[in-house]
Amino acid sequence: MHKLRLPVKVELPSALTRMVLDPKVTSLHSDYGSFDRPLGGGEGHERDVEAAVDGSSSGMAQSSDIYQRQPLLPGAPTKSKDKWSGVASGSDYYEDDEEEKIDGLGRHPGITNGPGSGVIKIDIPAPLREEPRFPKEKWKTFIAFLFMVVNFILTTASLAMVHERVPDRNIYGPLPDIVLDNITAQDWTLNVSEVLIMIMSNSAMVFIIFHKHRFIVIRRIFLLMGLLYMMRSITMYVTVLPVASKTYFCSPKANNTSPLLVTKRVLQLISGFGLSINGKHTYCGDYIYSGHTVVLVLSYLIIKEYSPRRCQPIHWLGGLTVFVGIIMVLVAHGHYTVDVLIAYYLTTRLWYIYHTLANNPYLKQNGPNNFLARLWWYPIFKYFEKNVGGTVPRQYNWPLPWPRRFLAKHPNRDS
């Protein structure tokens, strides 16, 4: 005989009833999901209810169905199916449902956006227009060109005045020099050196013209040449050395340094670009330091820095040309050996320091640990380079608006 089991009506408090019957309350909440049975009747569900009443957890532990539930925002409409079932309830990343829309004020529907609602509104400003990393700034290039021209004129004016102070060749002979004393002077080698100067300078100009960021490159060249001319005008004026060559022609002295005479000599030197091969450079005394060496070394540095890496044969050929050109200057007794050494040192140090500053953004800031900012020409550098956003890449393009078939964009050609 089976005993009839009559249902016993148990009076539960309303709060406990909601706890037992509401699956959201009875589930063991965690940040990773919930253990619970789905909604519905049945004997298993009744055992869970009885276990909850008796305080026993064995019935709940026997639940076989495991599911995870996405936490809902306060006031948000509930959904029967979660979109991301594996996202923790405490996660800061979520994806809006397709049905949820955001109004023009940045508020979600169903969420109170105001004081005391627990929602924080963050105003995000509109993105700023991104500036180009390598601006042309043609007007700065023009200013750098004027800077170089002014210092070149200053150098020629210094030579025009130094010529009157050169020691008399009949009284003072050349200074002792370890190289010049052991080499017989050959006047024709000075012309060879100046021909090599023209070849190297024109080759460097070709690479600059076809460089994509040609205005930045040529601006740097103008600035560096202007600094070298400025320092040379000072060093040749403060210390005047005897003429190194016994055969080089020097114009007679006028024993006068009037502004008109200096202006005439400056115009004569400028018309010959400072070279003696065209017969315009007939003034003596411009020794410390060698202008021939400056142009040769600077041309080589330009080609090596701003030409493609695959142009290694050109780099080697350029280095050999510079070496031969300097040797030709010494063979002609056009300069003392110390002039060549000082010119090489100043040109290379100035080049390396300038490009180190230009390629490192932290060195463009005048900080307490940036000792390079104490250079006297650092403010000039900072003015010209403050908008250049990094190392200038080795990229090239056609500089003219015609023919159009050469105007197609090409990728980076560093190699």
Higher pLDDT, 361 or 113: 361
Res. 174: pLDDT tops 50: yes
Give me the pLDDT at residue 118, please: 67
Q: Is the dihedral of CA 28, 32, 36, 40 positive or negative?
A: positive
Q: Mean pLDDT in the chain?
A: 76
Q: pTM for the whole thing?
A: 0.66
HSE (side-chain half, CA atoms, 13 Å) at 333: 23
Res. 74: pLDDT tops 60: no
Give me the pLDDT at residue 158, please: 93
Res. 271: pLDDT tops 80: yes
Cβ-contact 40, 46 below 8 angstroms: no
How does pLDDT run across 186-242, given as a tens digit for each residue? 889 999 999 999 999 999 999 999 999 999 999 999 999 999 999 999 999 999 999
| Lowest mean pLDDT, pick from 62-66, 168-172, 355-359 | 62-66
Residues belonging to the active site: 292, 335, 339
Q: Which whole number is the average pLDDT over 275-293? A: 86
Q: Which residues of 103-128 are buried (b: 16+ CB within 10 A; e: fewer)?
A: eeeeebeeeeeeeeeeeeeeeeeeee
Residue matched to tokens 């003696």: 276
Give me the pLDDT at residue 252, please: 87
CA distance linking residue 7 with residue 285, whole number of Å: 124
How does pLDDT run across 30-56, given as a tens digit for each residue? 444 444 444 444 444 444 444 444 444
Give me the pLDDT at residue 14, please: 54
Q: Is 35 helix (H, G, I), strand (E, B) or coil?
A: strand
Residue type, 232: R
CA distance linking residue 82 with residue 34, whole number of Å: 13
